[in-house]
């Protein structure tokens, strides 16, 4: 734990106790006696009113009617916060208004020199989605789907959802147990377990017309959902190893239901496992085209014979052109 972080944690630790000793600080934070004493002295210098008790069992306590002093940020921590704001503009993230007000409050807490540094950073750093003609630090202009924040608020209470989804000119209703909410290719997606059809379902948040908690009496337990998903995973019939060039292609484009798992810490190799419906001609054609798009930097472990035949036909057609 870095010194600045440790001191902030120690301050919270102290503020929640009526009395503490140097030995307790040493044991709690696994630091030496000299380090504990230096940290206490630095905390006192920052304005926390500590009173030392003399005696064999002496220690410290915080003076009555005192409060924890304001957390102080280092210059690098402030830069990290505001670069994060800059980098996430126009990415359709939730809580835009809250992020805007938070940025204004943080600006009001820092010195003029620190503000000048941020203005300079804003002038020289450009991120995806930034308007180079008006790179205003507080111009947080991402506009997520209005249903996204409502969805997140519901998820904090309950992961069983009753969703109304726009499909063409129709509104269809799906009861799902949400497994994850993720952003992919500039769009938010719900990956859930369809409680009626007992299978995975991907729902674009942009297509949501309404979302409500699902009635408890009709629910399937998380344990049964895990069992059903496990059975589905046993039917995996496509297993592909990806090298670095194939991973780069995967990031450019992949079908929504496809995911990869990295197989080394440097994320230069990965494995893809999926279940393909071999009796769906449109899906087979799409997957065949996509595997060719990945290029030669792949190694097939397992693949349905229908896909193999499709690849051969495509390559033969290219060879005859």
For 98-111, the pLDDT digits (tens) are 888 888 878 877 87
Q: At what angle do helices 281-294 and 305-320 cross, to 10 degrees?
A: 60
H and E: helices and strands count for the chain: 11, 11
Q: Is residue 174 part of a domain?
A: yes
Q: Is residue 69 part of a domain?
A: no
Out of 232, 247, 278, a domain closes at: 232
Domain count, the chain: 4
* Assigned token pair, 28: 């709690």
Is residue 240 scored above 90 in pLDDT? yes
For 163-200, the pLDDT digits (tens) are 999 988 899 999 999 999 988 777 899 999 999 888 88
What average pLDDT does range 201-230 have in this prediction?
A: 87
Paired with 194 in beta bridges are 176, 199
Q: What is the CATH number of the domain that holds 10?
A: 1.10.10.10
CA pair distance 91, 85, nearest whole angstrom: 11
Q: Is residue 67 part of a domain?
A: no
Out of 187, 204, 232, a domain closes at: 232
Out of 144, 179, 200, a domain closes at: 144
Q: Is residue 211 part of a domain?
A: yes
- In a shared domain, residues 268 and 221: no
What average pLDDT does range 299-319 have in this prediction?
A: 85
Q: Is residue 295 part of a domain?
A: yes
- Look at residue 20 and give its three-state secondary structure: strand
Is residue 10 scored above 60 in pLDDT? yes
- In a shared domain, residues 45 and 102: no
- In a shared domain, residues 258 and 308: yes
Q: Is residue 252 part of a domain?
A: yes
* pLDDT, position 210: 93
Q: What is the CATH number of the domain that holds 222?
A: 2.30.30
- In a shared domain, residues 202 and 248: no
Query: Among 259-268, 298-307, 309-318, where is mean pLDDT lowest?
Result: 309-318
Is residue 144 scored above 90 in pLDDT? no
Q: What is the mean pLDDT of the chain?
A: 83
- Residue 99 is part of which domain span? 74-144
- In a shared domain, residues 174 and 190: yes
- In a shared domain, residues 92 and 124: yes
- In a shared domain, residues 152 and 218: yes
For 114-139, the pLDDT digits (tens) are 888 888 888 888 887 676 676 666 66
Q: Predicted confidence band at 211 (pLDDT cuts at 50, 70, 90)?
A: very high
- In a shared domain, residues 199 and 267: no
Paired with 241 in beta bridges are 271, 299
Is residue 66 scored above 60 in pLDDT? no
Which is higher by pLDDT, 243 or 233?
A: 243
Q: Is residue 68 part of a domain?
A: no
pTM, 2 dp: 0.55
* pLDDT, position 320: 67
Q: Which of 148, 183, 206 is nearest to 256 (CA)?
A: 183
DSSP assignments along 221-278, one per residue: PHHHHHHHHHHHHTT--EEEEE-HHHHHHHHH---TT--EEE-STTS--EEEEE---T
**Half-sphere exposure of residue 160, counting CA atoms within 13 Å on the CB side?**
13
Query: Which phi and psi (to 5°) does residue 203 adopt?
Result: -125, 120
């Amino acid at each position: 734990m870095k010194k600045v972080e440790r001191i902030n944690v120690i301050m919270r630790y102290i503020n929640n106790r009526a009395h503490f000793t140097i030995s307790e600080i040493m044991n709690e934070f696994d630091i030496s006696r000299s380090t504990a004493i230096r940290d206490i002295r630095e905390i006192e210098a920052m304005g926390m009113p500590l009173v030392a008790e003399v005696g064999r069992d002496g220690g410290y306590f915080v003076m009555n009617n005192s409060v924890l002093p304001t957390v102080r940020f280092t210059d690098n921590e402030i830069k990290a916060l505001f670069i994060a704001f800059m980098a996430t503009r126009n990415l359709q993230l939730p809580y835009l208004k809250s992020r805007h007000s938070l940025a204004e409050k943080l600006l009001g807490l820092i010195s003029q020199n620190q503000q000048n540094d941020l203005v300079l950073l804003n002038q020289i750093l450009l991120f995806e989605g930034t308007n180079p003609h008006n790179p205003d630090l507080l111009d947080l202009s991402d506009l997520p789907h209005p249903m996204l924040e409502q969805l997140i608020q519901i998820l904090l209470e309950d992961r069983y959802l009753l969703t109304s989804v726009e499909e063409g000119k129709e509104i269809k209703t799906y009861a799902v147990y949400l497994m994850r909410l993720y952003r992919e290719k500039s769009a938010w997606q719900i990956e859930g377990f369809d409680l009626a059809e007992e299978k995975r379902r991907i729902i674009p948040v942009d297509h949501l017309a309404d979302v409500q908690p699902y009635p408890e009496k009709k629910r399937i337990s998380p344990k049964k959902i895990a069992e059903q998903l496990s059975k589905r995973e046993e039917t995996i019939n496509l297993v592909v190893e990806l090298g670095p060039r194939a991973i780069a292609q995967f990031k450019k484009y992949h079908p929504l239901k496809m995911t990869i798992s990295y197989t080394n810490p440097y994320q230069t190799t990965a494995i893809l496992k999926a279940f393909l419906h071999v009796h769906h001609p449109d899906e087979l054609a799409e997957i065949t085209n996509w595997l060719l798009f990945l290029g030669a930097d792949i190694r097939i472990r397992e693949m349905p014979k229908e896909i193999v035949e499709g690849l051969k036909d495509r390559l033969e057609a290219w060879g005859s052109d």
